[in-house]
Amino acid sequence: MSSDQRFFDFLKDRIGLDVASVGEAIIERAVRQRSMALSAQTADEYWQQLQACTDEQQALIEAVIVPETWFFRYPESFATLGRLAVARLAEIKQMRALRILSLPCSTGEEPYSIAMALLDAGLAPHQFKVQGMDVSPLSVERARRGVYGKNSFRGQDIDFRERHFTEQSDGYRIAERVREQVRLQVGNLLDPKLLANEPTYDFVFCRNLLIYFDQPTQKQVFEVLKGLTHVDGVLFIGPAEGSLLGRLGMRSIGVPQSFAFSRHETPVPEPVFVPMPAPIPQRSAAPIPTRPRPFSTTSAQVVSIQPPLVQSDAADLLSQIATLANEGKSLEARAACEHYLQSHPPAAQVFYWLGLLSDVAGSALEAQGYYRKALYLEPQHPQALMHLAALLESQGDVAGARRLQARAARSERADSERKS
């Protein structure tokens, strides 16, 4: 029933979702669930109900969207935001409050993290306001409730929970002083009237969204994001989206692991695709040099790198690699990957992490090599397929990207059939 192209087109039109980026199986499963909920027996019957009911349209979107977020995800982004915000206030002589936008804001962890980071950086409440926006009314309602379970607090550094939350029977409630800094609303990035009458924002967070769009929609959404970002502002994106922004006229501000971009006078030329030579020799990770960044009144912060505490058990070490990478500790994560490869048989997940770490560091060709090694060991590795596809598309190899996305879709469909 659900393989009907109409449902794919509906989601593309409403939220810009490229079916190839997530796989047909996810959408098929969502349509089956909603069809069963409405006792629809055929595709036509469910399609008619979908067209006649705006609530059902939103219910299908909610069934496809699975929020995956937590507080202070990519910590260096928030540390960088704090430093840039202090400099930005000095630059505008504190004549107005800073404006920060988070979209999609999901269930609120990101906009509340922004507010906590700025309060912890010493900003007063009157010096900034955060706008959170998401296409999902259900997610926005959960964000407004402001109560979170343990899954929203990940990583080793969760001291902020003591400062900004109150524990209660059903979870942790965000402090009122943080909640007051954040305004939440429902909104769609594909809406041409989105925030049309609002002033531009000093900082915009839009992370891990562009990779789910096809190339025309990526460009459309980027133009919206650029229009929302002040000419001297900064756009924070996800780890796999940097190559795309470089081609569309943005440049990294040069702070490792911040995934922060500013405007560039002219778009960066598309990189020339060069096949990756065979094996990449293992080497020690070198620090990434810091380049000039906006709001130059702030000096670069030097961070000392400590080697990770490695463990011999493969499962523990894989878990440690994931934790280090998700916390933005790329050098430690890379060292843990190399330790794994020295003490255990090659694993696709380790090469995937090395690919992502190289991708984040701007080493596109090296990232390709690692992603391909992961796929050699595990041909249907979903994350490696998705990120390599995004990398190839950013380099103009649309056909190669589509082939990888089709593989990911077939893998997801087969996995869904095994579980059903």
Identify whether 228 is part of a domain.
yes
In this prediction, residue 238 has a pLDDT band, given cuts at 50, 70 and 90, of: confident
CATH code for position 132: 3.40.50.150
Same domain, residue pair 141 and 25: no
Domain boundary among 195, 229, 263: 263
Task: Supply the DSSP symbol for 290.
Answer: P
Same domain, residue pair 247 and 351: no
In this prediction, residue 416 has a pLDDT band, given cuts at 50, 70 and 90, of: low
Same domain, residue pair 204 and 108: yes
The burial of 4, by beta-carbon neighbours within 10 Å (0-12 exposed, 13-18 middle, 19 or more buried), is given as middle
Number of domains in the chain: 3
Same domain, residue pair 153 and 241: yes
Q: Tokens in use for 419?
A: 């579980």
In this prediction, residue 307 has a pLDDT band, given cuts at 50, 70 and 90, of: very low
**Which whole number is the average pLDDT over 31-43?**
90
Identify whether 113 is part of a domain.
yes
In this prediction, residue 173 has a pLDDT band, given cuts at 50, 70 and 90, of: very high
The burial of 255, by beta-carbon neighbours within 10 Å (0-12 exposed, 13-18 middle, 19 or more buried), is given as buried
Tell me which residue range forms the domain holding 326.
Answer: 314-419
Same domain, residue pair 93 and 47: no
What is the model's pLDDT at position 282? 39
**Phi and psi, residue 263, nearest 5°:** -75, 150
Same domain, residue pair 187 and 253: yes
Identify whether 288 is part of a domain.
no
Same domain, residue pair 37 and 101: no
Cα separation of the two ends of the chain = 15
Specify the range with the lowest mean pLDDT, choosing from 71-80, 204-213, 334-343, 358-367: 358-367
Q: Above 60 in pLDDT, residue 189?
A: yes
Identify whether 300 is part of a domain.
no
Long-range Cβ contacts of 122-126 (<8 Å, 24+ apart)? 122/86, 123/85, 123/86, 123/89, 123/98, 125/177, 125/180, 125/181, 126/97
Angle separating helix axes 75-91 and 109-120, nearest 10 degrees: 60
Average pLDDT, the chain: 81
Distance from C-alpha of 32 to C-alpha of 38, rounded to nearest angstrom: 10
Residue 409, CA distances (Å) to 7, 19, 84, 240, 368 in order: 16, 8, 40, 19, 20
Same domain, residue pair 337 and 391: yes
Domain boundary among 223, 242, 263: 263
The residue with greater pLDDT, 100 or 225, is 100
In this prediction, residue 418 has a pLDDT band, given cuts at 50, 70 and 90, of: low
Identify whether 91 is part of a domain.
yes
Distance from C-alpha of 188 to C-alpha of 357, rounded to nearest angstrom: 31
Q: Above 70 in pLDDT, residue 380?
A: yes
In this prediction, residue 251 has a pLDDT band, given cuts at 50, 70 and 90, of: confident
What is the model's pLDDT at position 217? 85
What is the model's pLDDT at position 369? 82
Same domain, residue pair 252 and 127: yes
Q: Please tell me the pTM assigned to this model.
A: 0.65
Identify whether 273 is part of a domain.
no
Same domain, residue pair 56 and 99: no
The per-residue pLDDT for range 61-120, each reduced to its tens digit, is 888 876 678 999 889 999 999 999 999 999 999 999 999 999 999 999 999 999 999 999
What is the model's pLDDT at position 270? 40
DSSP string, 5-70: HHHHHHHHHHH---HHHH-HHHHHHHHHHHHHHTT--SHHHHHHHHHH-HHHHHHHHHHH------
Identify whether 415 is part of a domain.
yes
Same domain, residue pair 135 and 240: yes
CATH code for position 410: 1.25.40.10
Same domain, residue pair 57 and 97: no
What is the model's pLDDT at position 15? 85
Which secondary structure element, helix H or strand E, spans residue 87, and what is its range? helix 75-91
Maximum C-alpha span of the chain:
64
Q: Would you tell me how many other CB atoms lie within 10 Å of the CB of residue 192? A: 8
The residue with greater pLDDT, 198 or 265, is 198
Domain boundary among 220, 242, 263: 263
Identify whether 306 is part of a domain.
no
